[in-house]
């Protein structure tokens, strides 16, 4: 089933070649909703070519991200990786039975590793240069 879109507003280019756009479409069932036109989209429920024709040249130009924005995105990615590693640690340290099976040296190693993961954002060079601690 194809949904026909007849109105768009607030289009903004997401890349320099203007092939990806964020736009609001007037959906026949849901009213004005946000929508992203992406040439890689294989779902043809909404015909992206028709939406692009409605947008025409009425869109905000692409604005490349600032270095600050790029750094913030990279920092978020590194923190997400760190958080995934912390989940592995917490599966051991947060489980009383597993923790009790470890001797004091092993417990100290896991505690040190966990703290080193927590300290990753405080490393010099973060987020561009990260030295990951070694898992015990």
Q: How many domains does the chain have?
A: 2
**Does residue 71 sit in the same domain as residue 115?**
yes
Same domain for 115 and 73: yes
Whether 128 is in a domain gets the answer no
Rounded distance, CA 63 to CA 84, Å? Answer: 32
| Together in a domain, 73 and 43 | no
- pLDDT number for residue 19: 94
Residue 36 falls inside a structural domain: yes
Per-residue pLDDT tens digits for 13-38: 999 999 999 999 999 999 999 999 99
Residue 118 pLDDT: 97
Whether the per-residue pLDDT at 44 is higher than 90: the answer is no
Do 87 and 118 have their domain in common?
A: yes
Q: Tell whether 96 and 51 lie within a shared domain.
A: no
51 and 72 share one domain:
no
What tens digit of pLDDT does each residue of 52-96 get? 999 999 999 999 999 999 999 999 999 999 999 999 999 999 999
> Could you tell me the residue range of the domain that residue 90 belongs to?
67-122
Does residue 1 register a pLDDT over 90? no
Q: Mutual orientation of helices 104-118 and 67-93 as an angle, nearest 10°?
A: 160
Residue 133 lies in a domain: no
């Amino acid at each position: 089933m194809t949904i026909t879109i007849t109105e768009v507003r607030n289009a903004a280019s997401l890349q320099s070649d203007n092939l990806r756009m964020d736009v609001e479409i007037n959906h026949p069932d849901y009213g004005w909703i946000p929508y992203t036109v992406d040439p890689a989209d294989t779902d043809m429920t909404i015909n992206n070519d028709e939406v692009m024709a409605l947008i025409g040249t009425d869109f905000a130009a692409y604005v490349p991200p600032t270095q600050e924005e790029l750094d913030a995105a990279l920092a978020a990615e590194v923190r997400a990786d760190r958080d995934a590693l912390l989940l592995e640690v917490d599966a051991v340290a947060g489980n009383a039975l597993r923790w009790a099976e470890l001797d004091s040296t092993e417990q100290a190693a896991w505690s040190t590793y966990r703290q080193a993961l927590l300290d990753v954002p405080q490393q010099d060079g973060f987020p561009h240069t990260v030295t990951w601690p070694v898992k015990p």
